[in-house]
A and B are shown apart, each in its own frame.
Chain A
Amino acid sequence: MAPAETPSQTVGPYLALCLPWEEGPVADPSGVRLAGRVLDGAGEPIADALVEAWYHDPPTFARCPTDDEGRWHVVVPRLPYLAVHVFARGLLRHLTTRVYLEQPGEDPVLAQVPAERRGTLMAQPSDDGYRFDIRIQGPPELETVFFDV
């Protein structure tokens, strides 16, 4: 009989005891910087979150805890998009999203997203790279789209 899955539990407030490491945010030192904040339903920064970003080709992984102002950043090769996980105290399961660094053409994932919410998945060019805020809760047009994985 196939074994049943182990359920998820929150990372809690003390994930920094283990999960971050110094070079974790930097997947490619000569790459582009993507930075933003993680915000809650009151628009307040979440200071105990962790953001993970992944792309398959070239294999790219970056992990960054948020600071006291909810800020995170990763430095990655120039890629069309990144798959993103968000962990935090208060999240009993992590959230999964994507951040697009360039305007995609036909995209089977974006095609699932209501047109009026697609903008929440687009990184915005900034002075030093790209900006992408993750709003865990908010009005429909601002709340980041999360996927059912």
Chain B
Amino acid sequence: MAETVSRLREPPLDYPDYKSTALRHPKQPLVYLPEQITELTGPQLGHLRPGTIDNDLTRQHAGEPVGERITVSGRLLDSDGRPIADSLIEIWQANAAGRYAHRWDRWPAPLDPNFSGGGRTVTDGEGRYRFVTIKPGPYPWGNHYNAWRPAHIHFSLLGRSFEQRLVTQMYFPGDPLFPHDPIFNSVRDPAARERMISRFSIDESQDNWALAYEFDIVLGGRAGTPIEEAF
């Protein structure tokens, strides 16, 4: 039974189009994990991580970063549609030229002295969050000839339990690189891929200041659902 579940899971762990999966996926079947209090609970880092709120990535240095200023906001929900309040959200991204401020990134696009690319915030009582940042650029990544990542922002979510943990990437609507990116397409269900794409909102955009993108995140897992409600 557990194996059947594994096959349906997306994205797959073994995905040859993304070459780094070759030596980094288990070959043995995943083992069924019975419901246990350890995995049904989880860290509440909203209060634990020092210096938590840092949700304006354009104000971390003396000057403003180069690029298209945007806001990214939305709600963190469980799969019953209930908001997940007071939960840590961490993001990281490339700069406007598609370069990460990381010692391993050798792509010769310019670094931006005014952009580090990491941010964190905590959801409010309705599960809402908001970041101010700049739109990241696409960049080549060497997976295959002419391999370019669509612009994206990495998101890390803790949720209410260890089982709800999720790391994902948020994409921007209409990116011409979507058909060519194996990481995006590792999620084989087109409807599920759509759930990784933010929505542009003219209503949330602010006149003479920033364009707005909205991105709601839905966490699965058995956590947060009292057992009597599960059936």
Contact = CB atoms under 8 A, between A and B. Distances in A.
Interface of A: 2-19, 21, 23, 40-42, 44, 46, 48, 52, 54-56, 59, 61, 81, 83, 85, 87-96, 108-109, 112-113, 117, 136-138, 140, 143-149
Contact of B154 (A12, A88, A109): A12
Nearest first, the 6 closest Cβ-Cβ pairs linking A and B are A90-B20, A90-B24, A61-B43, A18-B118, A18-B92, A41-B23
Given A4-B192, A54-B162, A112-B31, A149 B39 contact: yes
B195 A83 contact: no
Q: Name the residue in A2, A18, A55, A59 with the highest tally of chain B Cβ atoms < 10 Å from its Cβ.
A: A18
Contacts of B102: 13-14, 16-17
A136 B154 contact: no
Contacts of A8: 10-11, 166-168
B200 to A, nearest CB: 18
A85 B162 CA distance: 8
A146 B31 contact: yes
B66 interface: no
Given A9-B167, A91-B25, A112-B33, 6 more contacts: A6-B195, A8-B167, A17-B101, A90-B25, A93-B11, A112-B31
Interface string B162-183: 1101111100000000000001
Nearest to B26: A146
A14 B100 contact: yes
Interface of B: 2, 5-6, 9-13, 15, 18, 20-28, 30-34, 36-39, 41-45, 48-50, 77, 79-81, 90-92, 100-102, 104-105, 116-120, 152, 154, 156, 162-163, 165-169, 183-184, 186-187, 191-193, 195-196, 216-221
A56 B38 contact: yes
Contacts of A112: 31-34
Given A14-B92, A18-B91, A83-B38, A9 B43 contact: no
A8 B13 CA distance: 11
